[in-house]
Structure 1
Amino acid sequence: MRNVKKRFEEVADEYDEEFVKLIPHYQASIEALINTIPFDENKEIKILDLGCGTGVVTKNLKELFPNSTVTCLDLSPKMIEIAKEKLKNYKGIEFFVGDFLNFEFEEGYDAVLSSLAIHHINDNDKKTLYKRIYNILNKGGIFYNNDRVEAPTNHLQKVYHDAFVNNLRKNYGNEKIEEIDKIADDNDIPSKLYEQLQWLEEVGFKSIDVVWKYYAQGVFGGEK
């Protein structure tokens, strides 16, 4: 995770602007992630934003669930600084810098959400993390992950990659395709979607579903 932290420290200031260009239908994926929360909008719920980045997910959460308390955790101190500034007018938010593989989580969360973060860890670490998330949720709580996934076949992986490259070409031109593609290869460890759904079931999640998908990105999770 050291290389990932270094990379995010370098790009933190441009993160929001760049992600809209890098990730097709980025806002739609965030809305799909938020919409998985099954609780009344006025209820006082406790939420963990895992790998919060600059606070995009939490900002959307606080707009829809104003009485929620949100824990924001990210590996990058600079990302947390930006998130604090972005969210300074909202109450009920706490911020922590840490690695979600060894962070000492509280228990009693009603929802754990993550966006474009968990694909930076390997398969075994994902399995461990999913179990940890299950353990800190209240009964009836939910976990959903908006993340990059690997295709189940070589052909579909090429389809995913071609869609990614075409989006880069549209937003950046040909000159930056190789550079950005290499950054993704060096920092990302996506796992197959169907395998991750199995891992969630194995640790105890139920009502598991994929609520949104666009090529190599999906929003998936389940209920405790």
Structure 2
Amino acid sequence: MSAPPHPRLTDGPSVADISRLFDKDAETYDQARSRLVPDLTPFYEVAVDLAATAVAGLSPRVLDLGAGTGLLTAELAAALPEASFALLDTSPRMLAVARDALALYAVRHETIEADMRDPLPPGPFHIVASALAVHHLPHDSQRALYARIREILAPGGVFIHAEQVAGHSHQLETLYEDMWLRDVKSRGVSAKELAQARTRMAHDHPVPVATHLTWLAEAGFREADCFYKRYRFAVFGAWA
């Protein structure tokens, strides 16, 4: 089931451009992601473990922000067969891929074509999750999003955020870049895939781990921590 786009709260830089970029790569995105994100399996495993532990014994309602092709939702659904999912993304082609994939496994879901700066679907949600999406927003929009996520979480609900982060210094950022290039080249990433990734990354606004934790605390989450980190890839959990 698909919900119509929400009215926009604010315009932001390059929203349409970003949507077109991800639309263009929708059919090949998942295969490329496995080469572009080193240790993708443990990266997602930590996110899923945190979510499953937080909602043990429930039939949770889950919102996946920037859901793309539904890769994170699929992983969560395997661990949470009683869950129902709402997938929000700006890219209609990405959401079409997600719908087709999730339908094969009878995952209960709806898709919402919207930007993360639009009004979020009404809660309460037991889990709000996001993987490699929030960093596309400008910093002030990321910070504001955390507060809006907190508002739609059920008491005791959890925000699971698997994200690309920045180094807190130029030296560390250079190290992250060098290690990422080493890793993706060792995994056989093609020149085309790397060029496509670079084009998408030109729109990115990552921030350091400490900044994420500060923003989560300011948003009113009672507990928050970074539970996994490998250079520029990190997984956060924050509880309402």
Listed one character per residue, the Cα deviations across residues 163-191 of structure 1 (whole Å, up to 9, x for unaligned) are 11112322346855873563254121111
Does residue 125 (structure 1) correspond to residue 180 (structure 2)? The answer is no
- 2:68 corresponds to which letter in structure 1? G
> Which has the higher mean CA deviation after the structures are superposed, 164-173 or 137-146?
164-173
The 2-side partners of 1:58 and 1:75 are apart by 16
Q: TM-score, normalised by structure 2?
A: 0.88
Map Cα deviations across residues 135-181 of structure 1 (whole Å, 9 max, x no partner).
00011000021010110111111110001111232234685587356
Q: Is the 1:41–1:66 contact (alpha carbons within 8 Å) kept by the matching residues of 2? A: no
Task: Name the CA distance, whole Å, in 2 between partners of 1:16 and 1:177.
Answer: 11
In the alignment, which residue of structure 2 is the partner of 1:45?
Answer: 60
TM-score (norm: length of structure 1): 0.93
Q: Is the 8 A contact 1:62 1:90 kept in 2?
A: no
Give the secondary-structure state (helix, strand or coil) at the position aligned to 2:227.
strand
Q: 1:41 to 1:221 in 2, by over 3 A?
A: closer
Structure 2: state its 5+ residue gaps. 1-14
1:54 pairs, out of 69, 80, 90, with: 69
SS at match of 2:174: helix
Q: Give the superposition deviation at 1:62.
A: 1.4
Aligned residue number for residue 12 of structure 1: 26
**TM superposition shift of 1:92:** 2.0
Offset at 1:103?
Answer: 3.3
Corresponding residue for residue 67 of structure 1: 82
- Say which SS state the counterpart of residue 35 (structure 1) adopts: helix
**Code of the aligned partner of 1:130:** Y
Residues in 2 aligned to 1:196 and 1:15: alpha-carbon distance in whole angstroms: 26
CA distance in 2, matches of 1:173, 1:85: 26
Q: Deviations over 1:32-86 (max 9, x none)?
A: 1111123455521111111111111111111111111111111100011100110
1:77 aligns with 2:92: yes
- 2:39, 2:29 → 1: CA distance? 16
Q: Could you give the per-residue CA deviations for residues 197-223 of structure 1, whole angstroms, max 9, x where no partner exists?
A: 100001111221111111001001310
Are 1:99 and 2:127 counterparts? Answer: no
When residues 196 and 84 of structure 1 are mapped into structure 2, their CA distance, relative to the original with a 3 A threshold, is: same
Distance 1:86 1:42, change over 3 A: farther
- Cα RMSD of the aligned pairs, angstroms, is 1.8
Correspondence 1:1-224 to 2 at 5 A: 1-37=15-51, 38-39=53-54, 41-88=56-103, 89-172=105-188, 175=191, 179-180=195-196, 182-224=198-240
Task: Provide the aligned length of Structure 1 versus Structure 2.
Answer: 224
- Secondary structure at the aligned position of 1:134 is classed as helix
- How far is 1:116 from its partner? 0.5
Identity %: 27
What SS does structure 2 have at the residue aligned with 1:36?
A: helix
- 1:151 counterpart SS class: coil
Residues 90 and 175 of structure 1: CA distance in aligned 2, closer, same or farther (over 3 Å): closer
CA distance in 2, matches of 1:84, 1:177: 24
The DSSP-based 3-state class of the residue aligned with 2:202 is: helix
Partner of 2:207, secondary structure, is coil
